[in-house]
Chain A
Amino acid sequence: MGSYFIKRIFQTIPVILGVITLTFILMYIVPGDPVMSMVGERYDEATIQKLREELHLDDPIWMQYFRFLGNLLHGDLGRSFVTFNPVLDDLLTRFPFTLTLALSAMIVSILIGLSVGILSSLKPNSLLDRGTMMFALAGISAPVFWVGLLLILYVSVYLKWLPPTGYGGIEYLILPAITLGTRSAAFLARMTRATMLDVLQQDYIRTARAKGLPEWKVILKHAFPNTLIPVITIIGVDFGSYLSGAVLTESIFGWPGIGRFALDAILKRDFPVIQGTVLFTALMFISANLIVDLFYGVVDPRIRFERKQ
């Protein structure tokens, strides 16, 4: 068991190195001079030369790469061209917002997704089942930014129940959390239903019913725990991508998280911030996936065994 965990953790090291390298290369080959985006409209040759030297932009690429790696090891992601703040500081200030939104979206997704999935699996092909599954498919197909705008339109503009954008109390969190959680909830509902239908056919469910257990106990204690693997996959992967910044949702609702930070940086061509954010979010994403994988090993011994082979 221990060896599976260690092996799996070590497997991510080359991936992380690869992500760092690819990010570096992408930033290197980007058309446009980063110094020009720093100095803006008014500049003179001397300033440009000084900046190039300060940033070591005239060094050979491999030297720049190793300096980049060295700085990363010191937790140095460089400074923003626009605000001159250290990128890591800015990321860490915004991370709590992203985390709050991600957790809330997950709660929405789990509450809706699981209950809808279980309910519709109990009476397959009934009107309720067909209706909810159609709704789930619509949830997957609707663009998240459009869902967000529709919610603002009906809940904030017409009904005036919640503020449309901004941040502060919980009233600001509800709409973004629903927007972000909808798609995940829809996936979760479909996956839960499909897995439940599978599990409900099993012999041990028949046995549980035969020995006279009440139906709710059969469902919740015997059937549901066996659907956990695919359910955890979806929750884990989605949570990982939310942690890496829900760009669209955050920008629609003016939520000051990492996604909006990244988008602002991209639109302003603030290269150190783009590079830092992409790296930071990729690490978040990889860690979340790693945790999901490790979790499989805990809940399902078959996976440990299979992976060893």
Chain B
Amino acid sequence: MNHFLQNQWSASLQQLKQDKGAMVGLSLVLLLLFIGFFAPWLAPMDPYVQILEYQKKPAGFKGNILVFSGNPNIQGDNFVAIQSFKTLEDSIHYVDLLDRTFTAHIHELSGENETDWHKTPRFWLGTDNFGRDILSRIIFGARISLKVGFIASTISLMLGVLLGVLSGYYGRWVDTLVMRFTDIMFGFPALLFLIGITAAFEPSLTVVFFAIGFVSWPSMARVVRGQVLSVKKQEYILAARVLGLPDWRIIVRHILPNCLAPIIVAYTMGIAGAIMAEASLSFIGLGAQPPTPSWGAMINYGKDFLRVAPWMSVYPGLAIALTVLGFNLLGDGLRDALDPKMKQEFR
């Protein structure tokens, strides 16, 4: 990359730093990355653990549970909700939520000390219909959204850049073929197309990654093609051709670096779109399958309990909205900083 390009990038970076919206967006994205990365340490509970006595408890509910060690080959620890307990030498007497008194041997409990087997967790965002901690599920759900966002957008990036470059650089029939194909892809209403594709296969997150990537590459291809067309006319490309450089080298070394700005913007916006698409698919039941803590799927389970446990759908939705907002704000800021001319082209 030459000095001129480097100077442009640092000028853009300066502008981005002064853009408050973009910085809010960046903070949200970084926060999400942090939460996703450190989910096992941040989540107060295991996102899959069901405490059936604590179904649909509201936000802020404080539990009182004993942890019994289950058979490690079959399942993990058992969680039993109690009202109170007493320890007598090597046995424990406890009263469950139905006022029944039980006795158990201390060795049946998990861990060594009372802090290991007696817990009073606070369910900050309430519990769902299986008595699972919603906050922990949202924290782990960040991983799914991030995965979908990055993997699906990367698939779309690779397809879009490849086809966009071929189309813009070689022109003629290659261009006609690729562009007519993007026209056809744009002819389908996006969500219905996506639903159709995912429904054709067994629902799973892998299908969702590829379906979103496959449906969303045409807009990336158009962006890249447009940029390649304008870069191609520059004199330094002509010079490279005169020098007899092979096409791939001209593309990789000279054309692509000059197309990076719109690609970065489209990629960032694409992540927001992919996260939203996964949430929509999982909401319909065609994406992540139970018990995976996907935000869209959580809203789906929650919608049947809207009257009695609205928190089941409200908080995961808030998580989606904040995440998408973060990527959108960042994308907006990047667009303004990298290329003010692009303002009109994106929506």
Known: A142-B321, A263-B284. A18 touches B347 (CB 8 A): no
**Any B CB within 8 A of the CB of A266:** yes
Write the B245-256 contact mask toward A (1 if CB under 8 angstroms, else 0).
000000000000
Nearest chain-A residue to B276 (Cβ)?
Answer: A143
- Inter-chain contact B310/A153, CB cutoff 8 Å: yes
- Inter-chain contact A31/B192, CB cutoff 8 Å: no
**Any A CB within 8 A of the CB of B44:** no
Q: For chain B residues 304-329, which have a beta carbon within 8 Å of chain A?
A: 306-307, 310, 313-314, 317, 320-322, 324-325, 328-329
The distance from the CB of B126 to the nearest CB of chain A, in whole angstroms, is 15
**Any B CB within 8 A of the CB of A81:** no
Instruction: Chain A residues near B183: list those with CB within 8 A.
Output: 14-15, 18
Q: Determine chain B's interface SS by DSSP, over half rule.
A: helix
Instruction: Chain B residues near A269: list those with CB within 8 A.
Output: 199
**Any A CB within 8 A of the CB of B9:** no
The distance from the CB of A182 to the nearest CB of chain B, in whole angstroms, is 12
**Any B CB within 8 A of the CB of A281:** yes
Nearest chain-A residue to B295 (Cβ)?
Answer: A143
Nearest chain-A residue to B343 (Cβ)?
Answer: A194
- Inter-chain contact B325/A137, CB cutoff 8 Å: yes
- Inter-chain contact A16/B187, CB cutoff 8 Å: yes
Partner of B189 from A230, A245, A252 at Cβ < 8 Å: A245
**Any B CB within 8 A of the CB of A26:** yes
**Any A CB within 8 A of the CB of B191:** yes
Nearest chain-B residue to A285 (Cβ)?
Answer: B189
Write the A275-297 contact mask toward B (1 if CB under 8 angstroms, else 0).
00110011001100100000000
**Most A C-beta atoms less than 10 A away, residue of B187, B283, B329:** B187
**Any B CB within 8 A of the CB of A4:** no
The distance from the CB of B314 to the nearest CB of chain A, in whole angstroms, is 7
The distance from the CB of A17 to the nearest CB of chain B, in whole angstroms, is 9
- Inter-chain contact B320/A262, CB cutoff 8 Å: no
The distance from the CB of B229 to the nearest CB of chain A, in whole angstroms, is 14
Instruction: Chain B residues near A19: list those with CB within 8 A.
Output: 184, 187-188
Bound CA span A245–B285, Å:
18
**Any B CB within 8 A of the CB of A102:** no
Known: A14-B180, A149-B299. A143 touches B325 (CB 8 A): no
Instruction: Chain A residues near B313: list those with CB within 8 A.
Output: 146, 149
Write the B172-186 contact mask toward A (1 if CB under 8 angstroms, else 0).
000000001101101
Bound CA span A156–B220, Å:
41
**Any B CB within 8 A of the CB of A141:** yes
Q: Determine chain A's interface SS by DSSP, over half rule.
A: helix
- Inter-chain contact A142/B200, CB cutoff 8 Å: no
- Inter-chain contact B197/A26, CB cutoff 8 Å: yes
Q: For chain A residues 67-93, which have a beta carbon within 8 Å of chain B?
A: none
- Inter-chain contact A278/B307, CB cutoff 8 Å: no
Instruction: Chain B residues near A263: list those with CB within 8 A.
Output: 195, 284
Bound CA span A10–B310, Å:
51
- Inter-chain contact A282/B189, CB cutoff 8 Å: yes
**Any B CB within 8 A of the CB of A178:** no
**Any B CB within 8 A of the CB of A274:** yes
Bound CA span A289–B310, Å:
39
- Inter-chain contact A18/B181, CB cutoff 8 Å: yes
Q: For chain A residues 245-280, which have a beta carbon within 8 Å of chain B?
A: 245, 247-248, 251-252, 259, 262-263, 266-267, 269, 274, 277-278
Write the A133-149 contact mask toward B (1 if CB under 8 angstroms, else 0).
00001101111111001
Q: How many residues of A contact B (CB 8 A)?
A: 51
Instruction: Chain A residues near B328: list those with CB within 8 A.
Output: 137, 140-141
**Any A CB within 8 A of the CB of B279:** yes
Instruction: Chain B residues near A137: list those with CB within 8 A.
Output: 325, 328-329
Bound CA span A255–B45, Å:
39
The distance from the CB of B125 to the nearest CB of chain A, in whole angstroms, is 15
**Any A CB within 8 A of the CB of B201:** yes
- Inter-chain contact A18/B199, CB cutoff 8 Å: no
Known: A18-B184, A285-B187. A142 touches B317 (CB 8 A): yes
Write the A229-257 contact mask toward B (1 if CB under 8 angstroms, else 0).
01000100000110011011001100000
- Inter-chain contact A146/B188, CB cutoff 8 Å: no
Instruction: Chain A residues near B184: list those with CB within 8 A.
Output: 15, 18-19, 22
Instruction: Chain B residues near A29: list those with CB within 8 A.
Output: 200
Instruction: Chain A residues near B190: list those with CB within 8 A.
Output: 241
Known: A191-B347, A262-B192, A282-B188. A143 touches B181 (CB 8 A): no
Bound CA span A29–B200, Å:
9
- Inter-chain contact B321/A143, CB cutoff 8 Å: yes
Known: A138-B321, A234-B347, A248-B280. A266 touches B187 (CB 8 A): no
- Inter-chain contact B284/A251, CB cutoff 8 Å: yes
Q: For chain B residues 282-296, which have a beta carbon within 8 Å of chain A?
A: 283-286, 296
**Any A CB within 8 A of the CB of B193:** yes
Instruction: Chain A residues near B317: list those with CB within 8 A.
Output: 142-143, 146, 149-150
- Inter-chain contact A282/B195, CB cutoff 8 Å: no
- Inter-chain contact A230/B344, CB cutoff 8 Å: yes
| A to B CB contacts below 8 Å, 12 in the list | A15-B184, A18-B184, A137-B328, A141-B321, A143-B320, A145-B280, A146-B313, A191-B347, A194-B343, A241-B189, A262-B192, A281-B192
A-B pairs with lowest CB-CB distance, top 4: A146-B317, A18-B184, A141-B325, A244-B189
- Interface residues in chain A, defined as those with a beta carbon under 8 Å from any beta carbon in chain B: 14-16, 18-19, 22, 26, 29-31, 137-138, 140-146, 149-150, 152-153, 157, 187, 191, 194, 230, 234, 240-241, 244-245, 247-248, 251-252, 259, 262-263, 266-267, 269, 274, 277-278, 281-282, 285-286, 289
Q: Given contacts A26-B200, A145-B299, A282-B189, could you give 11 more A-B pairs where the C-beta distance is less than 8 Å?
A: A22-B184, A26-B197, A143-B276, A143-B299, A144-B280, A146-B320, A150-B317, A194-B343, A241-B189, A247-B191, A247-B284
